[in-house]
Structure 1
């Protein structure tokens, strides 16, 4: 008998900037709807805790540790959380319900790769 595969965690990176044409009241309404949506999914066990990211930070490389900015403004990651889902497609469907998407933000949905890194494996860090 086949047992169902347990749900996996998918990292959600929220990035972008609010629409310039949206009023503060419209944006605040989207934020309020987001927290209601988020809190409901947390209580259902479908979303794990996440947080907004502070504006300050450091970029660390072999050359130095420098203050941000970290990427172009349109690519700034504003926050993160985890979705528990049975597939990448299901995680994307859940993320697509985020009310803030209607006002310019974007959610990147990424499965977690729980294997240890290897210089011999094709990964995000492997040069092309």
Structure 2
């Protein structure tokens, strides 16, 4: 099996304007998805991310870079195992964000 990274690209304003009930329902959808991935042997790890962050280079550290002001932010990630690219795509299509019309980025993790 190959290892893949799924990045959740989410609308910051939509995330920040959710009611507590909407946020809990969203969390429930992800928990159910993770349970299914785990039962199928595809889940490796996952975590939500805050919308705040830093751009770090040798010369500077920026805390309010364009990525913070962008409409979308990476809201979390999943590391999964899949048989091949097509299998990983099918798993990514079952992500709650994709199921409600959003997009995720799917990347294979290099093996050395």
TM-score, structure 1 as length reference = 0.68
Considering fraction of residues, name the structure with more helix.
2
Q: Following TM superposition, by how much is the alpha carbon of 1:89 offset from its aligned partner in structure 2, in angstroms?
A: 1.3
1:104–1:70 CA distance, 2 compared to 1 (3 A)? farther
Rounded to whole Å, the distance in 2 between the matches of 1:31 and 1:97 is 15
Partner of 1:112: 109
1:35–1:66 CA distance, 2 compared to 1 (3 A)? same
Considering fraction of residues, name the structure with more strand.
2
Rounded to whole Å, the distance in 2 between the matches of 1:36 and 1:101 is 15
Rounded to whole Å, the distance in 1 between the matches of 2:55 and 2:75 is 16
Q: Following TM superposition, by how much is the alpha carbon of 1:64 offset from its aligned partner in structure 2, in angstroms?
A: 0.3
1:31–1:103 CA distance, 2 compared to 1 (3 A)? farther
SS in structure 2 at match of 1:63:
coil
Structure 1 stretches of 4+ with a deviation exceeding 6 A read: none
Gaps of 5+ in 2: none
Rounded to whole Å, the distance in 2 between the matches of 1:33 and 1:83 is 17
Q: Following TM superposition, by how much is the alpha carbon of 1:83 offset from its aligned partner in structure 2, in angstroms?
A: 1.4
RMSD: 2.7
Q: Which has the higher relative contact order, 1 or 2, with Cα contacts under 8 A spaced 6 or more apart?
A: 2
Partner of 2:53: 57
Gaps of 5+ in 1: 1-6, 116-128
Larger radius of gyration: 1
8 Å CA contact 1:19–1:103 kept in 2: the answer is no
TM-score, structure 2 as length reference = 0.76
Equivalent residues in 2 for 1:51-90, closer than 5 Å: 51-69=47-65, 71=67, 73-90=70-87
